[in-house]
């Protein structure tokens, strides 16, 4: 699974990325700091299943704090987009193509409106961030549209002459964008049966539908500690009711995570508070007090972890599933509940078996719900935080 960070320049994308991954990336208050995409490992937080078994897990990947399991996934930060990116302006087409494999997008906006459309610093409140949401939507839709539009008439004539199925042909054409056949089939139902009659407006409408379904987007309303953000946030929520818009402060999250890494404070990502562990300088104490008063006390967290969680579990509707055994929760090396997998919605027991290993899927007999000790079949629909044992042929 991959999440893409997008937005115009200088909105705090790179800070959000570094706060999520603690990767070493350049951060500066100027446009186009990021040119090549940055990739790193971020984490979604799941209430660990070890809690129900009164044990402490030992993750192979990620980590667990106070029975809160942090499960890794790939995060990619692409360079800032500008109006006309889909036409290649400012290397924008190259940046869009970096999002090909993303399953969900996080659009990081400058909530207080302190950067203009070019990503240049301006006085807070002088730029409308709603314009940024609209322009990013348009650039993404045009990106999909241009891929579909390219050689459309020749493409349609070819599939008609060779009597190919339109859905399968479109699926192949859009395979680079991870557009599955079932979504294309559902999306073209409302269009005229003869694709040769489709006009540009039809293709754009189709492109927009496919983009929204295959690259769903959450809005990270960044720089929420700046006073102008509060009114801007409420207005954006009313103007864009179909979007999840979450207030956040990438700067605050980065400061807390780095302080925690240095053992200055005890902090769990997503928490509403932190505990000071060592004597701090006056400057450090003032910085932490600022975060507590202007971010944590007002919004209950910095928002960064919440956005990552909601992107995976609310937008994609994924679930977390743990492999385990009824009689033994540990692996051959003694690690308890060492793995946790993020699965798509409506995944079945047999899907999970194949996720673990092809041989487990091919030799599947049944599965067992370790929490209830009930035997379940191959078509059992997995639930969030299930612990599943796979039984195979000897």
Q: Phi and psi dihedrals of 125, rounded to 5?
A: 90, -5
Q: Determine which helix (DSSP H) or strand (DSSP E) holds 40, and give its type and residue range.
A: strand 38-47
Do 137 and 207 form a contact (C-beta atoms < 8 A)? no
How do residues 164-210 score in pLDDT, each as one tens digit? 888 888 888 888 888 899 999 999 888 877 787 888 999 999 999 99
Residue by residue, DSSP assigns 49-90 as: GGGGGT-----SSSEEETTEEEEEEEEEEPPPP-TTGGGTGG
How do residues 346-383 score in pLDDT, each as one tens digit? 999 999 999 999 999 999 999 999 999 999 999 999 99
pLDDT of residue 25: 44
pLDDT of residue 30: 47
pLDDT at 97 over 80: no
Stretch 261-270: mean pLDDT, rounded? 95
Residue 193 tokens, joined: 């049966």
pLDDT at 91 over 70: no
Q: Phi and psi dihedrals of 42, rounded to 5?
A: -115, 180
Residue by residue, DSSP assigns 113-142 as: --B-TTS-B--TTSS-HHHHHHHHHHHHHH
Do 280 and 264 form a contact (C-beta atoms < 8 A)? yes
pTM (predicted TM-score):
0.91
pLDDT at 223 over 90: yes
pLDDT of residue 96: 73
Confidence band of 32 (pLDDT split at 50, 70, 90):
very low
Do 368 and 388 form a contact (C-beta atoms < 8 A)? yes
DSSP helix, strand, coil percent of the chain (3-state; round to 5): 40, 20, 40
- How far separated are the first and last CA of the chain, in Å rounded? 32
| CB neighbourhood size of 380 (10 A) | 20
Confidence band of 136 (pLDDT split at 50, 70, 90):
very high
C-alpha 148/C-alpha 145 separation (Å) is 5
Q: At what angle do helices 13-21 and 250-261 cross, to 10 degrees?
A: 30
Stretch 33-61: mean pLDDT, rounded? 89
299 has which bridge partners?
Answer: none
Q: Which of 278, 248, 244 is nearest to 264 (CA)?
A: 278
For tokens 């006309």, the residue is 84
pLDDT at 26 over 60: no
Confidence band of 85 (pLDDT split at 50, 70, 90):
low
Strands 217-222 and 245-247, by their bridges, are parallel
Confidence band of 92 (pLDDT split at 50, 70, 90):
very low
Q: Determine which helix (DSSP H) or strand (DSSP E) holds 208, and give its type and residue range.
A: helix 200-214
For tokens 């192979």, the residue is 60
């Amino acid at each position: 699974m991959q999440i893409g960070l997008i937005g115009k320049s200088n909105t705090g994308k790179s800070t959000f990325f570094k706060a999520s991954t603690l990767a070493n990336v350049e951060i500066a208050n100027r446009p186009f700091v990021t040119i090549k995409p940055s990739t790193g490992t971020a984490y979604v937080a799941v209430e660990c299943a070890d809690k129900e078994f009164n044990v402490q897990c030992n993750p192979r990947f990620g980590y667990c704090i106070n029975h809160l399991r942090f499960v890794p996934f790939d995060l990619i930060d692409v360079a800032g987009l500008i109006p006309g990116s889909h036409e290649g302006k400012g290397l924008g087409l190259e940046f869009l193509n970096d999002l090909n494999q993303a399953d969900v997008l996080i659009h990081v906006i400058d909530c207080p409106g302190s950067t203009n459309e070019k990503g240049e610093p301006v006085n807070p409140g002088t730029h409308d961030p709603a314009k940024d949401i609209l322009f990013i939507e348009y650039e993404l839709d045009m990106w999909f549209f241009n891929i579909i539009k390219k050689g459309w008439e020749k493409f349609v004539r070819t599939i008609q002459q060779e009597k190919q199925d339109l859905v399968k042909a479109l699926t192949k054409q859009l395979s680079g964008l991870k557009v599955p056949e079932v979504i294309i089939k559902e999306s073209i139902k409302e269009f005229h049966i003869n694709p040769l009659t489709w006009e540009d407006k039809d293709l754009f409408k189709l492109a927009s539908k496919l983009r929204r379904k295959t690259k769903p987007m959450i809005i990270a309303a960044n720089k929420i500690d700046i006073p102008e953000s509060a009114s801007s946030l409420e207005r954006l929520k009313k103007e864009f009711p179909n979007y999840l818009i979450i207030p956040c402060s990438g700067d605050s999250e980065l400061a807390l995570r780095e302080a925690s890494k240095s053992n200055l404070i005890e902090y769990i990502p997503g928490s509403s508070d932190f505990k000071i562990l060592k004597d701090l300088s006056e400057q450090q104490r003032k910085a932490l007090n600022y975060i507590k008063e202007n971010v944590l006390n007002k919004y209950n967290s910095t928002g960064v972890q919440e956005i990552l969680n909601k992107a995976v579990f609310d937008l994609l509707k994924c679930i977390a599933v743990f492999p385990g055994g009824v009689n033994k929760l540990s692996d051959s090396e003694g690690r308890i509940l060492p793995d946790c997998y993020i699965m798509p919605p409506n995944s079945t027991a047999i899907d999970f078996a194949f996720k673990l290993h092809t041989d487990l899927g091919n030799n599947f007999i049944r599965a067992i719900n370790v929490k209830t000790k009930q035997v379940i079949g191959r078509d059992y629909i997995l639930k969030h935080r299930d612990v599943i044992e796979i039984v195979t042929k000897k």
